[in-house]
Amino acid sequence: MKIKPHLEKTESAVDRLIPFKRPAKDLISEQYWQYRVCDGLGISHLEIRTDDALALEYEKDCPTLNFGFILSGTYRHRIKAPVCNGKEYIAHEGVGGIAYLPRQEGCLTIPRQTHLSVVHIHVDLAVFSELFYDDRDTVPAALLPLFDGPVQHSWIFRTGMSIDAKLTLNRLLQGPSPGTPAHIFFQGITLDLMAEQVNRANTSRQIPGSLSHDEVERVLLARNILIEHVTDPPCLKQLSRKIGLNMNKLQQGFQQLYGVSVFKFLHQYRMQEAQRIFHETDMNVSQAASAVGYTNISHFSHAYKQHFNILPKRHLAVIRNG
């Protein structure tokens, strides 16, 4: 993505996004932009490419409320903060969440040959209160005390990114089309993403038998296995064995993190990937169908029509003809 003139760009992007204790000299490249929606509310995109393994330590003394989305890349994030002190999270593509930390110290460990792409929404507590006060019955219980100001407990919610969230993030990175008011564009996307994450947190809370930290990591791993083997995915029983969760827990995990069953998630991903192929490559319908795991072109066309309400051949013609 090219930096748009109305976006604020910084030369030392990494050090500005998070106050790292040393410069990130091992990076091949970095790109960072941020858009200020209003005082106390902004959205940013950080992109890092590195050949060598990288460890970036950071420290924050002020309370932070962030909504995060990982579009690509994998890294380990060890956090030193109240409640989650020393806990390590594996962050990878397809994971999103909400985090409140009164103070924070930690380290990002980025493996070699990584392309990291992360979107963050940064929210001051005053803005949080203004946006959510009238709908405070929808706010996760752990965040309710923030209406009265900073508190000394931490709260981290992690979930898988829904297809809707992924589509919204793709629109964000493409930027506003010519003639679209930029401020309304960025404001709308920011609010949509925040509402989506709060909804996911509430949906997760309503599902009985919430997943443990380890079970969340296993479900996220299952999601990656499905995507890596989209043309020949394992069956539910095989996937269950690979990640070490029984099939019921695996299905429950997908409902909790993605809001759909394992099969529905795979189907939605295949359709969105086919649409991406039409937009970004020169493949024809038959090649796109094969790329997402369909051997029967009629079955693919029927599934695509049901999902997008347009036949893939017609959709491809519309895209190619502008």
**Residue 64 structure tokens:** 């932070």
3-state secondary structure of 9: strand
What's residue 57's pLDDT?
83
Dist. CA 251–CA 103, nearest whole Å: 35
Dist. CA 243–CA 239, nearest whole Å: 6
pLDDT per residue as tens digits for the range 170-229: 889 988 988 999 999 999 999 999 999 998 888 766 555 567 778 888 888 898 899 889
pTM of the model as a whole: 0.72
CA angle 72, 76, 79 (to 5 degrees): 125
What's residue 4's pLDDT?
39
Is residue 201 within 8 A of residue 157, CB to CB? The reply is: yes
| Nearest partner of 162 among 210, 204, 215, judged by Cα | 204
Map tokens 């997760």 to a residue: 204
What's residue 312's pLDDT?
95
Query: In the chain, which stretches have pLDDT less than 50?
Result: 1-17, 23
Q: Name the E strands within 19-129.
A: 29-38, 41-50, 54-60, 64-72, 74-80, 87-92, 95-101, 104-110, 114-123
3-state secondary structure of 26: coil
**Residue 184 structure tokens:** 């309304």
Dist. CA 80–CA 57, nearest whole Å: 11
What's residue 110's pLDDT?
87
Is residue 114 within 8 A of residue 73, CB to CB? The reply is: yes
Q: How far from each other are the two terminal CA atoms of the chain, in whole angstroms?
A: 20
Dist. CA 75–CA 171, nearest whole Å: 25
